[in-house]
Every structure is written in C-alpha cells, then in structure tokens.
Amino acid sequence: MLQHPPAPPVISRSTAVLLMGLLALVTASFYSLAIKWGELFSADALRSGLEFIAGFAPPELAGPFLLKIAGATLETLSMSALSTLIAAALGIALALPASGRMGGALYAITRLMLNVLRSIPELVWASILLIAAGLGPFAGTLALAAHTTGVLGRLFADALENLPPAPETTLRINGATPLAAFCYAALPQILPQLMSYTLYRWENNIRAAAILGVVGAGGLGQMLKYHLSLFQMQQAASVIIAMLLMITVVDGASFWLRRKMTGS
C-alpha cells in the first residue's frame, strides 16, 4: 500500500498567526474607541441627522455667491498648479543628490529629507506654515509644494537610480563634463517619466487643494469650513457640489488625456 504524505494544511501556521493578529487588532480598535453606536442610531440622533441633511436643500444659487465660488475654485486650481510647478523644480534638484550621484553623505541626507517631507501630509504642513505665511492660499500653496516635493523627489530619484548607466558612463569616459553627460544621456531617458509623474501629482494636488482650506489655507475648503461653522447649510451644500464638480471634471479630463496619450 502506498503511503501518502499528510495533506498540507489549508492555511500555513504563519498565515494563521497573522490572521489572529489582525483579528486582535480589529477587536482592540473597536473596544478601545468606545464608538457611540447608541447615540448614533437613537431616534434623537436620526432626527437631528435628518434635519441636518434637510438643511442642505436647496443649495444656495444666488449670482454673487456663485461668483464667490468660482473665485475660490480658481484659487484652488492656481494653488495646485503653482505648487506642482515648484515641487517639480525642487524635486529634480533634490533627486540629483538623492540618486547617489554626489556621494554617500549627501545621498543619506537628501533621502531623509525627502522622506520627512513626504510623510507629513499636506494638511499638517498647511497648519504649520500658517504661522509663517499667514492665513490664505499662499500657506496652502507652500504646504502642497512641501509635500509634493517629497513625493516627486523620491519618484525622480528612483527613476534616476534605475536608469541603465551605460550611455552616461560612455559620455563621461569620453571627456564630457558631469552636467553635460546628465543633460544629454540621463535626462532624455527619464523625461517622459518625469512628465507623467508630475501630471499625476497635479491631479492629486487639485483634490488636496480643495480641502486644505479647512485649516484656513484658502480655496474652496476655507469657504466650506466658514459656512459650516456658521451653520449656513445651503451655502455649504453649494460649496460641496462645486468641489465634487471640480473633482469629477478633473478626473474626466485626466482619463481622456491619458487615453489620448497612450494612443488608442
């Protein structure tokens, strides 16, 4: 009679431990947060929630108010475009040392810098920069630029590091200066990648710029926060609709552009 080895377990032991850990994490989260389910689903809360939602209708559509919204939308778009430009310039400047072209010490320092810039979200940057730049869209622009510099710098540096080194080395061996070798060998190779990363971040930044204002950094978010805190629900509803419209339009445009560019 043939001896069959025992069938392998359905889940391996390490996966089982992992799943148990996840379960424990979820349980502990719900337990420690003490979410007020009772209050949330009580008749009282439901009624005030419904009242709250009913307050949104109809959205404020008066001419002057719509003009104000249009202004804030333009402000939001300018913040995002300007900050992406700044971030692309700073990003490439930081990516050069961060791709290991200027020695180990600079590599470590710039990578750390990019990591810190990147891991602090735009909103946190905005609320810190408010102190230096004052309330308004300028602080928002700087905040977006700071975070995006971290993101783009890292992506650019990775792109530079992953380049095949042969063309640049050839130029260098034949006596080209480092700058010339970079401009003629490395840059043309990564340029399409840089462009597509930058455009992608711009799209992201439009969305981020829309909400940054919640801490007072300009744009549509600032209007939303203002009207919500005055309990002017109808105005707030218009601002939210404007936000959604802007995001949808940008999404649509970028989808269309990408399909065009990938050429189909």
Q: Which residues bind other proteins (CB under 8 A)?
A: 14-15, 18, 25-26, 28-30, 32-33, 35-36, 39-40, 45, 48-49, 52, 74-75, 77-79, 81-82, 115-116, 119-121, 123-124, 127-128, 131-134, 136-138, 140-141, 207, 210-211, 214-215, 218, 221, 224-225, 228, 240, 243-244, 247-248
What token pair was written down for 224? 């939303």
Say how far apart CA 9 and CA 140 lie, in whole Å: 54
Strand, helix or coil at 115? helix
Q: What burial letters (b/e) apply to 135-146, b meaning 16+ CB within 10 Å? A: ebbbbbbbbbbb
> Minimum CB separation from other proteins for residue 172, in Å?
33
Asked whether the beta carbons of 117 and 162 are under 8 A apart, the reply is no
Which tokens in the block code for residue 188? Answer: 């043309």
* Closer of 176 and 228 to other proteins (Cβ): 228
Q: How far is the CB of 82 from other proteins (least distance, A)?
A: 5
Residue number with CB closer to other proteins (86 or 93): 86
**Which one, 46 or 66, has the nearer CB to other proteins?**
46
153, 98 contact by CB (below 8 A): yes
For the bound state, the minimum distance from the C-beta of residue 170 to other proteins, rounded and expressed in Å, comes to 34
**How far from each other are the two terminal CA atoms of the chain, in whole angstroms?**
62
